[in-house]
Amino acid sequence: MTSPIGKTVLYSYWRSSCTWRVRIALNLKEIPYEIKPVSLIKAGGEQHSNEYREINPMEQVPALHIDGATLIESLNILQYLEETRPHRPLMPNDCIKRAKVREICEVIASSIQPLQNLTVLIMVGEEKKDEWAKHWIKRGFKAVEKLLASSAGKYCVGDEITIADCCLVPQVFNARRFHVDLRPYPIILRIDRELENHPAFRAAHPSNQPDCPPEAVK
């Protein structure tokens, strides 16, 4: 699973929302990258192999090999891409607006996704897992909707796509997987609809990944 310096390699799982965030940003910034699929379900999860643990000690995707380094944690990777590839910016210039972008990212990345990811749901147990996931997604989306009410333009913050949009769209997909009623969140729904056919978002979609099983393609 090592890769030569110079080639950008994304350790990815088709349905991982955290990896999806990074795929969108790489596509938007037109950074060429190779995907190395890591199956989170095959043989108890390839992310727990000794080989992959050397790449990401959290035993999760994504990990990105870039510029001779291996980076983990999706928001960190998004920020690294922004710092090193400022063309096609995904952050506003204004400091308060930048903070508003990070607020939305952090609510999703700290208070929604970690509570409904696969590892946690296994601990919660088969019987309770759907209600558990729904509860945290609804709680988080209520707050995100409120934040968007004062920050959104065409997208999450103003009229340009930012890393907040890279986080929102995959979380909406997860919400649908858990059958969350999205009608109480009209701004979230509007932004999701705005972006669903954007080529960079489309190409990053789970159903367009090389490791997406044929039966999951809609």
Residues lying near a copy of itself in the complex (CB under 8 A)? 57-60, 67, 69, 71-73, 75-77, 79-80, 83-84, 95-96, 98-99, 102-103, 105-107, 109-111, 113-115, 120, 123, 132, 135, 140, 142-143, 146-147
Given the complex with a copy of itself, which of 100 and 205 has the nearer CB atom? 100
Q: How far is the CB of 113 from a copy of itself (least distance, A)?
A: 8
Q: How far is the CB of 102 from a copy of itself (least distance, A)?
A: 4
Given the complex with a copy of itself, which of 106 and 196 has the nearer CB atom? 106
Q: How far is the CB of 21 from a copy of itself (least distance, A)?
A: 12
* Nearest Cα residue to 212 out of 158, 161, 173: 173
Given the complex with a copy of itself, which of 98 and 198 has the nearer CB atom? 98
Q: What is the 3-state secondary structure (H, E, C) of 6-61?
A: CCCEEEECCCCHHHHHHHHHHHHCCCCCEEEECCCCHHHCHHHCHHHHHHCCCCCC
Q: How far is the CB of 115 from a copy of itself (least distance, A)?
A: 6
84 close to 78: Cβ distance less than 8 angstroms: no
Tell me the C-alpha distance between 131 and 144, whole Å: 20
- Residue 30 gets the label, from left (phi > 0), alpha (psi -120 to 50) or beta, of left
Given the complex with a copy of itself, which of 35 and 147 has the nearer CB atom? 147
Q: Which residues contact 178 (CB under 8 A, 6 or more apart)?
A: 116, 130, 133, 134, 137
Given the complex with a copy of itself, which of 103 and 211 has the nearer CB atom? 103
Q: How far is the CB of 6 from a copy of itself (least distance, A)?
A: 15
Q: How far is the CB of 57 from a copy of itself (least distance, A)?
A: 4
Given the complex with a copy of itself, which of 187 and 212 has the nearer CB atom? 187
Tell me the C-alpha distance between 47 and 103, whole Å: 29
154 close to 138: Cβ distance less than 8 angstroms: no
